[in-house]
């Protein structure tokens, strides 16, 4: 997933911080929380495992300019929050997304446009069959942030 990192990095110069994540995700944000607490900076937490999706959306929506958002969660949940945040206008300068745990790779079929999920160990240049049309696909390094998937080339005609 584009703009996704494995570890959070503290972004100074903001007036308010939002730490949003599932249980494991919020644990991974502890180093950031420690900095914010030590520096007595304004922050709040959003617990994805306790709050309803509409509550999460409302909390993200009501933030003011000058806010910095950290989202840390497993892949599926992370993608959902990233999508909401982007719709609300959070830019790459206002948010950081951290994937927790192993993630499947997504591969976009160049023929039928269906996205297949593949094992994370599949490397660029290796082959899989599209789950929809069975075309043999080669995993490319061409990543689409819109589709959140790698393009699968025709591997065999």
Partner 1 sequence: MNSENRLKVRIEAITKETASIKRFTFVGTDNKSLPPFSAGSHIILYLKGRGGEFERRYSLIGSQDSTENYQIAVKLHEKSSGGSSYLHSKSKIGDILQISFPKNYFPLSFHARHHVFLAAGIGITPFLSMMRELKDRGASFELHYSTKTKEDCAFYSYLIKEYSQQTHFYFTKQGKRIETNILLNQHIGTHVYLCGPEGFTSSFSRAATSIGYPSASFHYEYFSPPNIYKPRPFILKLTNGSFLSVPDEKSTLDVLLEAGYHVPHSCKIGRCGTCELSIVEGEAEHHDSFLSTKQKDSQVSFLPCVSRSKTKILKVDHS
Nearest to 69 by CA among 93, 40, 39, 100: 93
Could you say whether residue 145 binds partner 1 (CB under 8 A)?
Answer: no
Q: Provide the β-strand partners of residue 72.
A: 21, 98
Instruction: Give φ, ψ of 31 to 5 degrees.
Output: -60, -35
Q: Which stretch binds partner 1 (CB under 8 A): 73-81, 86-94, 114-122, 148-156?
A: 86-94
Single out the segment in contact with partner 1 by CB under 8 A; choices: 29-37, 46-54, 64-72, 146-154: 64-72
Instruction: Note whether 88 binds partner 1 by CB under 8 A.
Output: yes
Q: Total binding residues for partner 1 by CB under 8 A?
A: 19
The piece of 11-19, 31-39, 71-79, 96-104 that touches partner 1 (CB under 8 A) is 11-19
Q: Kindly give, in sequence order, each residue whose CB lies less than 8 Å from that of residue 64, ignoring residues fewer than 6 positions away.
A: 15, 16
Question: At 23, is the secondary structure helix, strand, or coil?
Answer: helix
CA atoms within 13 A on the CB side of 53: 8
- Compute the distance between CA of residue 157 and CA of residue 150 in angstroms, rounded to an integer: 20
Stretch near partner 1 under the rule CB under 8 A, chosen from 24-32, 87-95, 99-107, 142-150: 87-95
**Residue 89 near partner 1 by CB under 8 A:** yes
Question: Does 52 contact partner 1 by CB under 8 A?
Answer: no
Instruction: Report the first-to-last Cα separation within the chain, whole angstroms.
Output: 29
Can you tell me which of 32, 46, 60, 81 binds partner 1, judged by CB under 8 A? 60
Kindly state whether residue 68 participates in binding partner 1, applying the rule CB under 8 A: yes
Give the SS3 label for residue 153: strand
What's the min distance (Å) between Cβ of 145 and partner 1? Answer: 13
């Amino acid at each position: 997933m584009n703009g996704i990192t494995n570890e959070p990095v503290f972004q100074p110069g903001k007036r308010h911080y939002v730490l949003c994540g599932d249980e494991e995700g919020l644990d991974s944000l502890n180093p950031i929380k420690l900095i914010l607490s030590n520096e007595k900076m304004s922050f709040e937490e959003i617990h994805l495992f306790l709050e309803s999706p509409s509550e999460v959306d409302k909390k993200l929506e009501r933030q003011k300019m000058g806010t910095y958002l950290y989202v840390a969660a497993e892949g599926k949940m992370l993608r959902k929050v990233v999508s909401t945040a982007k719709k609300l206008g959070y830019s790459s300068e206002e948010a950081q997304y951290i994937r927790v745990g192993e993630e499947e790779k997504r591969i976009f079929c160049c023929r039928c446009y269906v996205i297949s999920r593949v094992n994370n160990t599949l490397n660029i240049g290796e082959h899989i069959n599209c789950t929809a049309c069975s075309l043999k696909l080669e995993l490319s390094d061409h990543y689409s942030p819109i589709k959140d998937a790698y393009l699968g080339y025709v591997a065999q005609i």
